[in-house]
Amino acid sequence: MRSVRHRTAAVDGHEIFYREAGPADAPVIVLLHGYPTSSFMFRELIPLLADSYHVIAPDHLGFGHSAAPLVDEFTYTFDALAELTSGLLEQLGLDRYALYVQDYGAPIGWRLALRHPERISALVTQNGNGYEDGFVESFWTDVWAYGENPGPATEPAVRAALGLDAIRRQYLHGVPDPSLVSPDTWEHDFALVSRKGNDEIQLALFRDYRNNRPLYPLLHEFLRTSEVPVLAVWGRNDEIFGPDGARAFARDAKDAEVHLIDGGHFLLESHLEVVAGCLRGFLGRVLG
């Protein structure tokens, strides 16, 4: 098993933490995490890839072990998070890589792909949305309302997502055997979200999420013109991004694999070996 290095880089004056493993001369895969977690979500996947791939998994600003400047010190948007991620990859000298995106990692990854399409060797989406088809209305209604009209009437519904019960639900909902999911996951995430001032960081990103939707047609055009291979491996019981979001990638990607697994939003916690098997098979086929 390959060792995992835990590193920090200064990007535009901000400390960005990242995990790194695998041979430096191997094909690169960049793992981009979602809300409310960090590169911690990839802790068990990284060693399963590192024998054949150079793996980089950063924590977004405001998450995990990266710096978390307060909202009056940094304007938290998905554009800004993508800019920092791009800066990190350039600092590391990575000019060709596959992207693995989940949840928030998806709009960040789509921006990287649209900014430098020539750098993307493959796309892997694990419950990382890129289509209107993927939004589960019962979850997103409150988010859209808050983004359109932030204030005391709309904030309580989204602020509830910062609570321990809501974070636990994200991990357990749709998982056939919840005993497979370690409580360490939601306790770890809740502790970091509960840091002083982090609630305002998360609310800023909730407000900005609506600005990801106009990227979708650009993403679809990129998929059609670049013919980049795509793997969608998805927890089909996800109450945030439904399985139609996974199927939709086959509309535009010429080379698309879609696997719907009997799991939830954080599929790696209950189906690590299944996801790793799909991923290694796909990467082996398209990257060699």
Q: How many helices (H) and strands (E) does the chain have?
A: 12, 8
The whole-number pLDDT of residue 83 equals: 98
Q: Rounded to an integer, what distance in angstroms lies between the CA atom of residue 212 and that of residue 78?
A: 8
The whole-number pLDDT of residue 1 equals: 58
CA distances from 52 to 19, 27, 85, 279 (A): 16, 8, 23, 12
Q: Rounded to an integer, what distance in angstroms lies between the CA atom of residue 68 and that of residue 235?
A: 30
The residues annotated with a catalytic role in the active site are 265
Reported pTM? 0.98
The whole-number pLDDT of residue 2 equals: 76
153-159: Cβ within 8 A, 24+ apart: 155/203, 158/203, 158/206, 159/199, 159/203
Mean pLDDT by groups of 10 residues along the chain of 288 residues: 91 98 97 98 97 97 98 98 98 98 98 98 98 98 98 97 98 98 98 97 98 98 97 98 98 97 98 98 94
Q: Rounded to an integer, what distance in angstroms lies between the CA atom of residue 245 and that of residue 282?
A: 19
The whole-number pLDDT of residue 130 equals: 98
